[in-house]
Amino acid sequence: MRILVTGGLGFIGSNFIRYMLQTSPEIRIINLDLQTYAGNPENLKDVSGDKRYFWVRGDISDPAIARQAMAGCEAVVHFAAESHVDRSILDPGPFLKTNVLGTQVLLDAARAEKVKRFIHVSTDEVYGSISGRRRSSEKDPLFPNSPYAASKAASDHLARAAFITHGLPVIITRASNNFGPYQYPEKALPLMITNFLENKPYPLYGDGLNVRDWLYVKDHVAAIAYVLKHGEVGGIYNIGGDTSLKNKELVSCVRKIMGISPSLVASVPDRLGHDRRYALNDSKLRKLGFKFAHPFEKALFETIEWYKTHESWWRPLKKSDGYAAYYQKQYEKGTVPFSEIR
Ligand code: NAD
Ligand code: DAU
């Protein structure tokens, strides 16, 4: 089977490509990735010589490139996106272009190329902040709160519309917070681990009581591969982590494993519009037969080990000027000097 993966140089896409190459000997993978700040060829260095894998550098919102890359593919697995909430608050433009327009361009190309499966990879953030002990199920309405979440919700609607209007065989997956190897060190967990390794404070937003459900990326990519094979066309599948933690609790787990003092946790002003809690009901995926394989504690331990042993991967990313400049604004009113955090 020949498949198009979009955004395969990013965190989850690269883990997905590696998983598919390991588990599907007959697979051929075209990876369409623009190599934005988050796209890193180093993420797939170990498989770059594999003849079953080919990277096309290009923008998903370019219709000609999208069609060219998709030609002859049976399936599309669409990861490419602007993915960081904080960046979407500072500058939503790229989120609209890639996440909304880019997704529509791919859906149109998939229709023209008559692909047999289009997996649209989405997020629990589209359901918005969930109160009490509730968990979002696939039939819940969407109430996105950040520009990132709104752009993903728009792309979910477009994907569903392509199924209803044109019969395009779309399946939507919505996952909770991923963690694991190759995650760009702007996201909470890799930022926390690498800051601790550098003996720098981790900036904890607001009161630290926001709840996220943590999903190991290796379970996420296995679930996507499972849905690609067994999912019902037109269906939506939540992929949860079953590990709900307040941000404070997560920091505590990491501190304990790494032997870090509480003084390296710095309270900073809250993220604007910070969603209090996400939680997914993923019984539909479990009923389909998918089994999660990675318990949280072991996966967290392995992830910390990975960042400890891959300094040459993350150090250059943290040093890049663009990265630092982007966040400076966010911390200039904070309680901690920016230079100590990043
Ligand atoms: P990422 O930011 O690590 O990677 C995104 C990739 O997309 C990069 O390789 C980048 O170069 C590429 N890209 C961006 N714009 C592009 C464009 N216009 N054309 C081609 N390529 C482009 O993201 P991630 O964390 O791996 O997330 C992947 C997908 O999974 C996203 O759709 C995201 O919304 C979704 N998701 C992420 C999480 C999470 O916790 N990280 C959870 C649920 C869902
Ligand atoms: O829920 C799935 C989503 O998870 C994905 O769709 C997004 O692409 C992904 O970025 C992630 O979004 P979050 O905003 O939940 O993740 P982030 O890692 O940015 O933050 C996790 C929590 O930690 C959140 O409550 C904000 C908080 N945080 C984050 C950072 C970067 C801090 O307290 N300090 C920080 O420096």
Instruction: With beta carbons less than 8 A apart as the criterion, state whether 119 and 77 touch.
Output: yes
Ligand 1 pocket, Cβ-based, cut-off 6 angstroms: 6-7, 9-13, 32-36, 38-39, 59-61, 79-81, 83, 98, 102, 121, 123, 152, 175, 177-178, 184
What is the pLDDT, as a whole number, of residue 148? 98
What are the chain's domains? 2-179+215-239 (3.40.50.720), 188-211+243-277+295-334 (3.90.25.10)
Active site residue 59: no
Q: Ligand 1 center to residue 187 CA distance, Å?
A: 12
| Helix and strand element counts for the chain (H, E) | 14, 12
User: Among this protein's residues, is 307 annotated catalytic?
Assistant: no
Q: What is the mean pLDDT of the chain?
A: 94
Coil vs helix vs strand at 338: helix
Nearest ligand by distance to the CA of 17: 1
pLDDT at position 320 is 73
pLDDT in the model for residue 342: 45
Give the C-alpha separation, 213 to 78, whole Å. Answer: 22
pLDDT in tens, 193-245: 999 999 999 999 999 999 999 999 999 999 999 999 999 999 999 999 899 99
Q: What residues line ligand 2, using a CB cutoff of 6 Å?
A: 83-85, 123-125, 176-177, 187-188, 191, 203-205, 210, 212, 247, 271, 278
Minimal-distance CA residue to ligand 2 atom 22: 188
Choose the catalytic residue: 82, 113, 127, 148.
148
What is the pLDDT, as a whole number, of residue 114? 98
Q: What is the pLDDT of residue 173?
A: 99
56 Cα–ligand 2 center, Å? 29
Indicate the pTM of the whole model: 0.96
CA of 141 to the centre of ligand 2 (A): 22
Left if phi > 0, otherwise alpha if psi is -120 to 50, otherwise beta: which for 113?
Answer: alpha
10-residue mean pLDDT profile of the chain (342 residues): values are: 98 98 98 97 97 98 98 98 96 98 98 98 98 95 98 99 98 98 97 97 96 98 98 98 96 98 96 97 98 98 98 93 50 50 48
How far apart are the C-alpha atoms of 118 and 104, rounded to whole Å? 12
CA of 133 from ligand 1 middle (Å) equals 29
Catalytic option among 125, 186, 213, 275: 125
Inter-CA distances, 218 with 280, 291, 331, Å: 18, 12, 33
Amino acid (1-letter code) at residue 126: V
Count of CB atoms situated within 10 Å of the CB of 6? 28
Q: Which of 79, 187, 252 to mutate to test the pocket of ligand 2 (most atoms within 8 A of CB)?
A: 187
State in Å: Cα 104 to ligand 2 middle. Answer: 26
Q: According to DSSP H, which parts of 212-273 are helical?
A: 217-230, 247-258
Question: Which ligand 2 atom lies nearest to the CA of residue 278?
Answer: 1
Quick check: is 125 catalytic?
A: yes
Instruction: Give the model's pLDDT for residue 335.
Output: 46
Report which ligand 1 atom has the smallest distance to the Cα of 184.
3
Instruction: Give bridge partners of residue 78 from the DSSP assignment.
Output: 6, 120
Considering only CA atoms, which of 155, 202, 176, 135 is closest in space to residue 296? 176
Instruction: Give 79 Cα–ligand 1 centroid separation in angstroms.
Output: 5
Q: What is the SS3 assignment for 75? A: strand
Q: Which of 33, 124, 219, 275 is catalytic?
A: 124
What pLDDT was estimated at residue 132? 86
User: Closest ligand 1 atom to the C-alpha of 182?
Assistant: 3
Give tens-digit pLDDT for 161-185: 999 999 999 999 999 999 999 999 9
